[in-house]
Amino acid sequence: MTDAIVGALSMAFAMGWEILWPLILGFTLSGIVQAAVSHSEMSRLLPDDRPRSIAIALGLGAASSSCSYAAVALARSIFRKGANFTAAMAFELASTNVVLELSIIIIVLMGWQFALAEFVGAPIMVAVMVFLFRIFLSPHLVREAKKQADRGISGRMEGHAEMDMSVTGGGSLWQRITSDEGLTAISHYFVMDWASVWIDIVGGLLIAGALAAWVPHEFWQGFFLTDHPFLAKLWGPLVGPLVAVISFVCSVGNIPLAAVLWNNGISFGGVIAFIFADLIVLPILDIYRKYYGLRMTGLILAAFYVAMAVAALVVEAIFGALGFISQERKAQVVEASITWNYTTWLNIVFLVLAALLVWRFMKTGGPEMLRMMNAPAQRGMNS
């Protein structure tokens, strides 16, 4: 038993070492983007579910934090301020599937094909979700959800979702980002994004390490129907979100898990559906219940699940036809081991960058803001 635990922890630590520099790079770039894009106009820009509003929602989501809890809280916030409910959900889906840090981690651990599949699949998923909402989302249900949302029941990351530190003054984009105000905003977003997802990252690494070390390869092959290639392509996108729901891990924390599943036989589309499903894990479903009521939560779960599965099936077909699906199942994260190589050097360089950002965060009132991350939205800082 001791050897098994040590083996799982060693695998988890090795995975964490492998993805350290991409995480720091991704959160730094995310901080830069968030410092340049204001939250204040979101509700005004999303008045309906027409294609223009949905496209804007995708763009705003791509420019936001990848934290699933913050995305869910911000989606409720802009819905309460007048945004269309469907557009708010489109923003939510985009904010956890087309953000920079997620793509960087996927490329490093699994390959560019998976990152490209995320970018291709996300708009398809949103389009399916919009179609389903237009059929099943009644005005009465929206009014019920709005009434429940206006009660202001707390979920998680309420304060983080409300904090808007974007730099909107004069000057070019580069001048705003490199100004004292811009560098401070970047450092604050960097640290607070880390603080919002570190539990999911650590949890994902521990679960991935345990699955890689403990679960026999034969079990996964049977579960994912690897002896039946055609059925496996259909089964993967259907079961991928269900595995995600019970894993409790969301945001970038589910990428190591996705790598383990890929190495053990799940289909390409199954991996994509699993990654998509970070917004229907059990803790977030409970937050939907608090935010919008039980009936709307049921509709969100059903619509999101169908949209994720359909988008993954479509992506599998497109990428299979283009020959983009690798036949090798050797995701880097599962083979990771700590050696003195380029990963070590990059980790050192980016740890220095992280230290500088944390230092600026500490010197510019960051700890006070950090304490407000889980405060109710009306108490969050909105500067």
Region 36-45: mean pLDDT is 71
Say if residue 282's pLDDT is above 70: yes
Higher pLDDT, 196 or 162: 196
Q: What is the pLDDT of residues 324-366, one digit of tens each?
A: 998 777 665 544 456 677 778 989 999 999 999 999 999 998 8
Task: State the Cα angle at 168 between 164 and 169, rounded to 5°.
Answer: 140
Q: How confident is the model at residue 159 (pLDDT cuts 50, 70, 90)?
A: low
- Please give the Cα distance from 196 to 167 (Å, whole number): 22
- Please give the Cα distance from 55 to 49 (Å, whole number): 10
Closest CA to 314 of 105, 32, 121: 121
Task: State the Cα angle at 281 between 15 and 297, rounded to 5°.
Answer: 165
Region 152-181: mean pLDDT is 74
169: helix, coil or strand? coil
Provide the token pair at 33.
């983007």
Higher pLDDT, 121 or 375: 121
pLDDT for res 381: 43
Q: What is the pLDDT of residues 175-226, one digit of tens each?
A: 888 889 999 999 998 898 888 778 888 888 888 888 877 888 889 889 999 9
- Alpha-carbon Rg for the chain in angstroms: 20
pLDDT for res 120: 95
pLDDT for res 379: 44
153: helix, coil or strand? coil
Provide the token pair at 329.
């199942």
pLDDT for res 383: 39
Q: How confident is the model at residue 295 (pLDDT cuts 50, 70, 90)?
A: very high
Q: How confident is the model at residue 129 (pLDDT cuts 50, 70, 90)?
A: very high
CB-based burial, 299-319: b 16+ in 10 Å, e otherwise: bbbebbbbbbbbbbbbbbebb
Provide the token pair at 38.
């204001």
Out of 18-27, 91-100, 261-270, 274-283, least confident range: 18-27
Q: How confident is the model at residue 155 (pLDDT cuts 50, 70, 90)?
A: low
**What are phi and psi for residue 249, nearest 5 degrees?**
-105, 135
CB atoms within 10 A of CB 264: 22
Q: What is the mean pLDDT of the chain?
A: 85
Q: What is the pLDDT of residues 72-99, one digit of tens each?
A: 888 888 898 889 999 999 999 998 888 8
pLDDT for res 39: 61
pLDDT for res 380: 43
Out of 71-80, 233-242, 258-267, 274-283, least confident range: 71-80
Q: How many CA atoms lie within 13 A of 5 on its CB side?
A: 2
DSSP assignment letter at 225: T
pLDDT for res 8: 76
pTM over 0.85: no
Provide the token pair at 169.
């003054």
Q: How confident is the model at residue 158 (pLDDT cuts 50, 70, 90)?
A: low
pLDDT for res 128: 98
- Which residue shows structure tokens 């995480």? 23
Say if residue 26's pLDDT is above 60: yes
- Please give the Cα distance from 95 to 67 (Å, whole number): 8
Q: What is the pLDDT of residues 297-322, one digit of tens each?
A: 999 999 999 999 999 999 999 999 99
